[in-house]
Structure 1
Amino acid sequence: MKITILNQNFTLHPYGALFWHEKSCLFISDVHLGKVSHFRKFGAAVPKQAVHRNYVMLDEVIQTFQPFEICFLGDLFHSSLNKEWLLFENWVAKTPAKITLITGNHDIIAPEKFEALHIELHEEILTEGFLLTHHPEEKEGHYNFCGHIHPAVKLKGFGRQHLKLPCFYKTDKQLILPAFGEFTGTYVLTPQPEDEVFVLADQQVIKV
């Protein structure tokens, strides 16, 4: 699904990533790496393969767009260091793109660990009329790309059928990206008439 914002061209990917064509920049939000190991440590019955699924998805979307830069919009890691950090180090080592992290509320790992991997950390970035943040924010004269919410919408079917689907949630001032991570929840939003919603379903991005 292709959209245009501020005369710039973007593609919405079914995994929840957003590609900025003019800048060859891939935006990804709320991967929550390490969450599976964190929950398994405390006895939650979470399958181990969920750990590797995140990296499979990352590799697939990077192969699709081959970006010059990857910008994570916060909550890249779910909690403190655990054994998944080594997997992340290995993934960074084989990823040719420049990596930037807009720090989120879950990003509590020491900045030095990211800097050692040549990952730039920022609280926010202003570029080309866009405001890049983790939490949804507003700044006069800028369009906000953000995450944090894990947006979803409920769709009604025939009878009493209801379906909850993650989505890109677009307003006139903001685009909230869905959570990219395999093991993340969602928060249902109620669209206003002027808002645009792009749901992720069956490996497609569908405007509803």
Structure 2
Amino acid sequence: MNLNIKIKDQDFVLHPFGAAYWPEKEVLLVADVHLGKVSHFRKHGSAVPLKSTSQNFIKLDQLRKEFDPEHILFLGDLFHSSMNMEWNMFEEWIENIDNKVHLIAGNHDIISPLRYEALNIKVYPEVKVDGFYLSHHPEEMPGHFNICGHIHPGIKMKGTGKQSLKLACFYRSSNQMILPAFGEFTGNYIMQPEEGDRIFAITGKEVIPVN
């Protein structure tokens, strides 16, 4: 179940997969997919199921079907490292979609921008639009609300006794929202909310506001 929120009089739809849809701009925001990480793990002997390589594309296609965005904007770390078999999967995926795809380069995005340009994907260091500052790393920009990734935010929820549960989350403070990592096997950084911060945990099926 999605969750609708308002930021600077703009609508944002938070999705349980960890993406956010901005209907006024018809743009789907996705952070930290880390394509190629599964292949990287397998190359170094980790017992990661091969079918996991397709999960990110399956989720992206479900989001495309649900929102039909004109634009898909990746907020950095689209790929985990250098090219591997998942680049070929990505090329095939791009050839079969009609959305305009953009990338804000992250610290893991070491693949040449020329490769992306050959696929008609525009690469930017950051994007400013209508009072919003879209970046990979969390940044402060006077007069702008920052939407970013990089941190892989998570929250630890405690139950009765010693029970606890770690979930990825959208992390919103007064002038910033950090998106959860979209990719499989990316891990989370447990956030320590300050007064006024808002947490929206994701389960894959619903988005849950956390007090």
Q: What's the TM-score bracket when you normalise by the shorter of the two chains? A: over 0.9
| 1:129-161, Cα deviation, whole Å (9 max, x unpaired) | 000000000000000000000000111101111
RMSD: 0.7
Q: Secondary structure at the match of 2:103?
A: strand
Q: Secondary structure at the match of 1:15?
A: coil
For 1:18, the aligned partner's letter is A
For 1:72, the aligned partner's letter is F
Q: Give, in angstroms, the shift of residue 28 of structure 1.
A: 0.1
For 1:65, the aligned partner's letter is F
Runs of 4+ in 1 over 6 A off after TM superposition: none
The two structures have a TM-score, normalised by structure 1, of: 0.99
Contact 2:17–2:204 at 8 Å: present in 1 too?
Answer: no
CA distance in 2, matches of 1:201, 1:111: 34
CA 1:195 to 1:91, structure 2 compared with 1: closer, same or farther past 3 Å? same
Q: Paired residue for 2:45, among 39, 43, 46?
A: 43
Ranges in structure 2 where 5+ consecutive residues have no aligned partner? none
Q: Paired residue for 1:120, among 95, 119, 122?
A: 122
Contact 1:154–1:188 at 8 Å: present in 2 too?
Answer: yes
Map 1:143-154; keep pairs closer than 5 Å: 143-154=145-156
CA 1:101 to 1:184, structure 2 compared with 1: closer, same or farther past 3 Å? same
Residue 141 of structure 1: aligned partner: 143
Q: How many residues align?
A: 208
Contact 1:50–1:183 at 8 Å: present in 2 too?
Answer: no
For 1:169, the aligned partner's letter is Y
Q: Secondary structure at the match of 2:207?
A: strand
Ranges in structure 1 where 5+ consecutive residues have no aligned partner? none
